[in-house]
Structure 1
């Protein structure tokens, strides 16, 4: 089998880290990024999967760092480019209460920066590769029918979904597979200890979805079990 190559952005912990680990277990070559120069978790994975993990540093909110990474990866071709980015706020903070600074931070990191990254790095994907971003079931407008909190987080993920759909509309002949991935409620720093899924359960499912959708083209909003999430 031809070796598959992945670029995973935001891989220092949680969903991103778990997905890197799952792909390495499946014999992928992975380039993984974090915002820190020295990431001990990724370094440990590199030792376990000798020769198949390359580490890079980038903060996707800083355009100069994104441009520099794009330049460093000249000549690379990835079967998967996945941007995993997510910050949140106090669960019960409503739109009436949230500060402008917090609102701007969530919209920048959760929606604008991931899609700017996809725009810049589309030329680093193979011709039939996958461009993916970590969305959330919380971004579903259809399912937002009861009070569960995280109003601005929900809005930022809905904005991400809309921007990806706009990207797809502007590239109707693009053969790339486009995925909005909803990992489920996962026991991470963001999801909290009461969440129903472990990182391993969620990311094993996401890896299955990514591999199943490879080469199919089009845009889909899918959860960790491969089910379509309502827009």
Structure 2
């Protein structure tokens, strides 16, 4: 059955969601969409400052609980696991990520900036997945926000080299995770949301949040209950590795 076929088949909603990285941008939009659909959402922010997520959670028609974690701090991931250890989720989705600044080639990038992007975008999401996996239902879903720029096959124009490399590394590490857990029933999703108008994507991006995020949610829902790893875009189309 293809991903397109799956999108035509109604699936059990993912009712209990743990969303990592939701203070702004795509993460905030995901929290908004899932809570609007009546899902129970535990969403994380990195620090103690008030964010737009707090404003969203204060609305009477939403079921959003806020937790704090910096995914680049392993001890904070472990502490989050401890706080949530008596709960289970249908979906854990890791959205947190950064872009590199200033833009430039790999050779032009400082060691510190290269390490920051790779640790945040590739290493830390896998630490989250490994640490929190036992909170996911045996037939639940683990998702990670990737990017179409993580596709090695589609990299025919170059540019955004460090960011591209971090997402390609993320994809490879998730593929290794899937290989090590091949006997499990969980759905594993690498999501490419498209080029979206956020602080990270910029105002020139092709898609609005409203054009991307509802489709991201629909695609993740459609893949629920289908074991194995898929690298797909917001419309459910397979992205070449």
Separation in 2, partners of 1:3, 1:150: 34
Other-structure match for 2:56: 45
1:51, CA displacement in angstroms? 6.1
Other-structure match for 1:203: 213
Separation in 1, partners of 2:109, 2:184: 39
Of 104, 111, 120 in structure 2, the residue corresponding to residue 100 of structure 1 is 111
Q: Does 1:165 align with 2:175?
A: yes
Q: Determine if contact 2:139/2:225 at 8 Å carries over to the other structure.
A: yes
Q: Determine if contact 2:146/2:191 at 8 Å carries over to the other structure.
A: yes
Other-structure match for 1:86: 97
Separation in 1, partners of 2:219, 2:98: 24
Q: Determine if contact 1:24/1:49 at 8 Å carries over to the other structure.
A: no
Of 115, 123, 127 in structure 1, the residue corresponding to residue 138 of structure 2 is 127
Q: Which moved more, 1:39-48 or 1:52-61?
A: 39-48
Other-structure match for 2:3: none
Other-structure match for 1:8: 19
Q: Deviations over 1:183-217 (max 9, x none)?
A: 10001111110001112221111100111111111
Other-structure match for 2:84: 73
Q: Determine if contact 1:136/1:181 at 8 Å carries over to the other structure.
A: yes
Other-structure match for 1:177: 187
Separation in 2, partners of 1:64, 1:46: 26
Gaps of 5+ in 1: none
Taking structure 1 as the reference length, the TM-score comes to 0.96
Taking structure 2 as the reference length, the TM-score comes to 0.92
Residues 3 and 121 from structure 1, CA distance in 2 versus in 1: closer, same or farther, beyond 3 angstroms?
Answer: closer
1:36, CA displacement in angstroms? 2.0
Gaps of 5+ in 2: 1-11
Separation in 2, partners of 1:118, 1:49: 31
Separation in 1, partners of 2:113, 2:228: 33
Q: Deviations over 1:49-97 (max 9, x none)?
A: 4561100000000011111100000111111100012211247400111
Q: Determine if contact 2:219/2:235 at 8 Å carries over to the other structure.
A: yes
Of 138, 153, 167 in structure 1, the residue corresponding to residue 149 of structure 2 is 138
Q: Which moved more, 1:82-91 or 1:167-176?
A: 82-91
1:152, CA displacement in angstroms? 0.7
RMSD: 1.5
Separation in 2, partners of 1:100, 1:13: 27
Separation in 2, partners of 1:82, 1:35: 15
Q: Does 1:192 align with 2:192?
A: no
